[in-house]
Chains A and B, each alone.
Chain A
Amino acid sequence: MSTGTLSSEQHVPPHQPSRLTTLEAGVVTFLCSEVALFSTLITTYVIFLGAETPGADPAKMPNPSNTLDLGLVIINSICLLSSSATIYLALKARKRGAHALYLVWFAITILLGIEFILGTGYEWYGLMTEKQLWLSTNSFGSTFYTLIGFHAFHVSIGILVMMILWGVEAGRCLKAESEAPELVSWYWHFVDGVWILIFTLVYIIGR
């Protein structure tokens, strides 16, 4: 049976299944699943805020207010959030065809991301050595390292993907119409957005 005859009638509605391209729809759906993941982690953090360890003196146990410092985190946050702006500028340059400028902005984005990871590592080093906060210390330690760690893991994946993309683009191996840079930037904006939420909850409200 030929399927071609199905289209023999007139007045066929225009073919426009969706405003998103297939890849865009895939990335949006994937990011929705990430929202569900981070919602779980954030909820868990909030549930355990102020939870005490049975039999331990609460004053001597690490908690957000006696452990977390704003100083370094603010620098990290500024770096991560401004990287959202730089990746936006990078994509704008790409659309204009300014290849060199695009690569520069993209590289700056990657460097800002790396600063965030290194900064987080330094903060964790301080927490572990000076404040004696470990994953196993109490439920604050467990939830804090898990939440921040999951986020940092996502940032690292983003950096890795962006480095690969940068190399491919530097070698001009990607078609101009490729959606990859745009979609990577969606992921990056998402990771930054999650950080705004985490920063507000963990370092401001929860402290």
Chain B
Amino acid sequence: MATIDSLPQPDLYATPTLTTRLHGWVASVDHKQIGIMYLIMSLFFMILGGLEAFLIRAQLWAPNNELIGPETFNQLFTMHGTTMIFFVLMPMLSGFANFLVPLMIGARDVAFPRLNALGFWLSFFGGCLLYFTYLGAQGLYGAANAPDIGWFAYAPLTSPAYSRGNATDYWILGTMLTGAGTIAFGVNLLATIFTMRAPGMLLTKMPLFVYIFMMDAVLIIIAFPPLTAAQVMLLLDRYAGAHFFDPQNGGSAVLWQHLFWFFGHPEVYILALPAFAITSEVIPVFARKVIFGYASMAAATTAIAFISLGVWAHHMFTVGLSDVVDTIFAASTFLIAIPTGIKIFNWTATLYGGRIRLKTPMLFVLGFLSMFLIGGLTGIMLAVVPFDWQVSDSYFLIAHFHYVLFGGSLFSLIAGFYYWYPKMTGRLMSERIGVLQFIFTFVGFNLLFFPMHISGLLGMPRRIYTYTEPGWVLWNQLSTIGAAVMGIGFLFFFYNLIRSLRHGEIAGDDPWDAWTLEWTTPSPPPTYNFEQIPTVRSRRPLWDLKHPDDPDWKHE
């Protein structure tokens, strides 16, 4: 009789094979692994979107440049915008939320781990479907092999008459699929935050990161379904002969703009709120102070979320809706400046008198503060209807929203990478390369986008593939040089991410001396996160633990 001993024994300590490890990731329902996969996905698409942007800048280097033809140029800016919004910033914020929210609220996983995995794979394959357009879109028509409709796909450009072939369909289906994944993410996040907080963590005692992501998920739940509905209508228009957006048959091209921007404007805040969330965690830790005005911060977040649902037509001032509509939407847009201003002041007040440590996460957050402020100020300018009529669809607008979404959102998200990388991998990213990256990115960013304000005011429209105006040359060349400088910054970033995996300094549980619950777990955290579910009594549970003589709950 064979005994147990005589059977071949698996070597429990052998390194698992690559297939085993890959299977462990692909089949994972662990919120931390899914979070990291979201982040890797966003970095992957960032390379594609970045290369597209670089080609655009290369084409605009000189007047009458013939590097890229007009058709390709249209495809490039469409793919660049769609990629950056849907497949870089969205998965990046989903990644951080997935990894961090359960850890910060003291939960062992998200509410619906399998739904979470479904959401990720829908988003990922949505991106793949969009890029499959380069292989599959041409069809029998000899038509464009990538969508060339702009990222907001105005009617009637999307009608069968102007968009032959299947490129537009890949755009619709890719973004619709990733939208479904995002809704799943939102449902999951809200259910997690509402019902899985650790004992004692009231809604008012959550870290601001969690509070702000809660409002982010609320916006996702309200804003994404209308986009899905509009995209179904568009598909029906294209394939079943419906007349939603086709004015020749009683449809309305303006309706698409309304529906798209009813999604599109909240989307801007869906992308900006996570930046606020990260900033609200990084600034206190690196200024060694409690966040200034927690309650007003939370209230401002809520106000931003709800006001942002009522400002969409400021994207449509040049449509000619009516003076009354324009005035109402200009007014609601101005309103947004109030809660956003409150936030900026709160962050500044947190910095004031703090013992500031200028580590890389803090550098990027300070970059965020200043760049986002510029983007916000040009936003107020654009909300003034007559001014908008002058500069709408010019490079001034491009400058504005890149200051908001790149200088704003992305800078803060990069800070998030530097701040939580040690938690995710157990190793710190290199400070030296980080500072180099910051310098190159910050200088490159401003060199790239600040001249666009000027070329825009000089009258250069967006989305033109070339120009003849001699006055625009200098500003465009500055922009292109900036793009190259920033590209070097991102090479540092990717090098740092990969190098630090092996060679980074061992981080330990709490490298930044922070105060939220994720830093009580080992780095990287075990699958179950917490051996024992912690009990929370203040907004800084780890501070309480470190300072039993002077805990926060005595003061809150």
Contacts and interface: CB of A to CB of B under 8 A. Distances in A.
Q: Is this pair of chains taken from one and the same complex?
A: yes
Interface of A: 1-7, 9, 11-15, 17-18, 20-23, 25-26, 29-30, 32-34, 36-37, 39-41, 44, 47-48, 51-54, 134-136, 138-139, 141-143, 145-146, 150
Name the residue among B197, B230, B237, B244 with the largest chain A CB count within 10 angstroms. B244
Contacts of B273: none
Contacts of A5: 545
B535 A32 contact: no
Nearest to B247: A54
Contact of B200 (A4, A12, A21, A136): A12
B532 A3 contact: yes
Contact of A6 (B188, B247, B535): B535
A135 B252 contact: no
A195 B222 CA distance: 20
Interface SS of chain A: helix
Interface stretch (B329-337, B403-411, B494-502, B536-544): B536-544
B468 interface: no
Interface in B220-256: 221-226, 228-230, 232-233, 236-237, 240-244, 247-252, 255
A22 B225 CA distance: 22
B195 A21 contact: yes
A84 to B, nearest CB: 23
Name the residue among A13, A39, A145, A150 with the largest chain B CB count within 10 angstroms. A13
B352 interface: no
B551 A12 contact: no
A25 B225 contact: no
Nearest to A13: B200
A134 B551 CA distance: 69
23 contacts: A1-B509, A1-B510, A3-B533, A9-B553, A12-B200, A20-B194, A26-B112, A29-B186, A33-B187, A33-B225, A34-B225, A36-B222, A36-B224, A36-B226, A47-B255, A136-B240, A138-B249, A139-B251, A142-B233, A142-B236, A142-B243, A143-B244, A146-B236
A163 to B, nearest CB: 22
Nearest to B190: A29
Interface in B156-214: 183, 186-188, 190-192, 194-197, 199-202
A79 B378 CA distance: 56
A75 B403 CA distance: 58
Name the residue among B195, B510, B533, B545 with the largest chain A CB count within 10 angstroms. B195
B194 A138 contact: no
The 9 tightest CB contacts between A and B, nearest first, are: A136-B241, A15-B199, A7-B535, A37-B225, A142-B242, A36-B225, A26-B191, A40-B226, A40-B229
A51 B254 CA distance: 14
A143 to B, nearest CB: 7
Contacts of B244: 44, 139, 142-143, 146
Contacts of B196: 17, 22
B534 interface: yes
A143 B230 CA distance: 12
Contact of A9 (B229, B250, B551): B551
A144 B200 CA distance: 50
A2 B532 contact: yes
B229 to A, nearest CB: 4
A3 B230 contact: no
A152 B217 CA distance: 28
B527 to A, nearest CB: 15
B225 A52 contact: no
B183 A33 contact: yes
A44 B509 CA distance: 53
Contacts of A7: 199, 532, 534-535
B191 A25 contact: yes
A15 B255 contact: no
B250 A139 contact: yes
Name the residue among A1, A52, A145 with the largest chain B CB count within 10 angstroms. A1
Given A3-B520, A5-B545, A25-B195, A54 B255 contact: no
B556 interface: no
Name the residue among A1, A17, A20, A146 with the largest chain B CB count within 10 angstroms. A17
A40 B194 contact: no
A7 B551 CA distance: 13
Given A44-B255, A54-B250, A15 B229 contact: no
Contacts of A37: 225-226, 228-229
B525 to A, nearest CB: 11
B260 to A, nearest CB: 11
B186 A15 contact: no
A184 B118 CA distance: 21
B111 interface: yes
Contacts of A134: 241
B255 A138 contact: no
Interface in B502-556: 509-510, 517, 520-521, 530-537, 541, 544-545, 551, 553
A12 B199 contact: yes
B535 to A, nearest CB: 4
A48 B217 CA distance: 31
B478 interface: no
Contacts of A138: 243, 249-250
Given A7-B534, A37-B225, 18 more contacts: A2-B532, A3-B520, A6-B544, A9-B551, A17-B194, A18-B194, A18-B195, A22-B196, A25-B195, A29-B187, A33-B187, A36-B224, A135-B236, A135-B240, A135-B242, A139-B251, A142-B236, A145-B242
Contacts of B248: 54
B454 interface: no
Nearest to B533: A3
A40 B225 contact: yes
A106 to B, nearest CB: 25
